Structure 1
Amino acid sequence: MQENRQEMVTLYDLIVQIKEPPPPDAISLWPQTPGAWLLVAILLGALLYAAWRAYRRHQADAYRRAARAEIAQNPDDPAQLAEVLRRTALVAYPRPDVAALIGEDWIAFLNQKTPRPYFDDRTGTLLTSAPYRATTGDTEAISALRHGVQQWIDHHKPERTVDQRLALMQGQPVAPAEASP
């Protein structure tokens, strides 16, 4: 009987003898196949290209930020608003298309270059006459003009490429053949 007792093993004795299996090797999150590496390289290249393009566009839009800052310094001077608007248009469009425009032709040009026209008869007259005569003191018209100028600066679609705008802002001339797309 004593022999049977030694041979008799309890469930507890068996459970105590169980050893934990070793943990599996860690699975790497790095790509393992050449195709996966190629996909990672393509995605990284596309991301870098997109970042470079965004940086260049940010640089090329510096003229917009400079115009907004200049307007903020003296927002109630229609002559300065007209000057800032003209300089902004000269950066965004070829000089022959902008420099000679005056009066209604200038206002029509400005209204054509944005999705919606920002200059009506009242603000257009104020814009075209401001550089040549003193302001009448019509604060409502000046406020409407300032709003129109700010909106035009923000929403016009430049014809010049990013490289051409960057060259102009750095003081480099843009060849006439390159001026129009």
Structure 2
Amino acid sequence: MNPTLLDLKDIHEPEAIGWWPPAIGWWVLAVSIPLLIILLVWFYKRLTRKTALKTAKKMLAQIKQGAARDNLQKLGELSVLVRRVAISVSPRTKAAGLTGRQWLEFLDTSVKGTPFSEGIGQLLADAPYRKTPPTELEISQLIDLCEDWLKSQTKS
């Protein structure tokens, strides 16, 4: 047979592959990358929160057992400790700028009742301004209240 006599047509190339719809691998990446980022942020926040609370509990135990410190020093250290923990576990804008009554009300939100704004926790607001040291009973009650507050931070 003569190739010129046959009615042959030229080779047809397939159409170019379109960009839509993407292959399944791209869908998996589009879903898994944001989920991975969210998971890593959540894990980081949880890890830093646990570390802050664990460190705070150790520091509270040191304050509680510190026989060399007087009660006014213990009160100041408790005030600083509670403030640091609150800033570490809460949004900074929510806790960092609070003072006085607002600070005590913020602390009351995570414990039952109002022991900070109406109870022994009031010592934390006036700690830097006290001239007379609190009694041993007041310090022990305040330490117990701070322990309860730290325990309530692990639940939330």
TM-score (norm 1): 0.50
What SS class does the counterpart of residue 93 from structure 2 fall into?
helix
Q: Kindly indicate whether the alpha-carbon contact (under 8 Å) linking 1:111 and 1:119 is maintained by their aligned counterparts in 2.
A: yes
Match of 2:149 in 1: 152
Point out the structure with max Rg over C-alpha: 1
What SS class does the counterpart of residue 74 from structure 1 fall into?
helix
| CA positional deviation for 1:148 | 0.7
Q: Does 1:64 align with 2:61?
A: no
Corresponding residue pairs, total: 107
1:59, 1:96 → 2: CA distance?
18
Q: Kindly indicate whether the alpha-carbon contact (under 8 Å) linking 1:114 and 1:157 is maintained by their aligned counterparts in 2.
A: no
| CA positional deviation for 1:100 | 1.2
Q: Name structure 2 gaps, 5 residues minimum.
A: 1-41, 65-70
| CA positional deviation for 1:125 | 2.3
Q: Does 1:121 align with 2:118?
A: yes
Q: Name structure 1 gaps, 5 residues minimum.
A: 1-52, 160-181
1:104, 1:141 → 2: CA distance?
19
AA paired with 1:137? P
| CA positional deviation for 1:118 | 3.9
1:129, 1:122 → 2: CA distance?
13
| CA positional deviation for 1:140 | 1.2
1:61, 1:118 → 2: CA distance?
24
Match of 2:136 in 1: 139
| CA positional deviation for 1:131 | 2.6
TM-superposition CA deviations, 1:122-166 (whole Å, max 9, x none) = 42321111133345231111111111111101113687xxxxxxx
2:118, 2:107 → 1: CA distance?
13
TM-score (norm 2): 0.57
- For structure 1, which segment, 89-98 or 69-78, has the greater mean C-alpha deviation from structure 2 after superposition? 69-78
1:68, 1:157 → 2: CA distance?
11
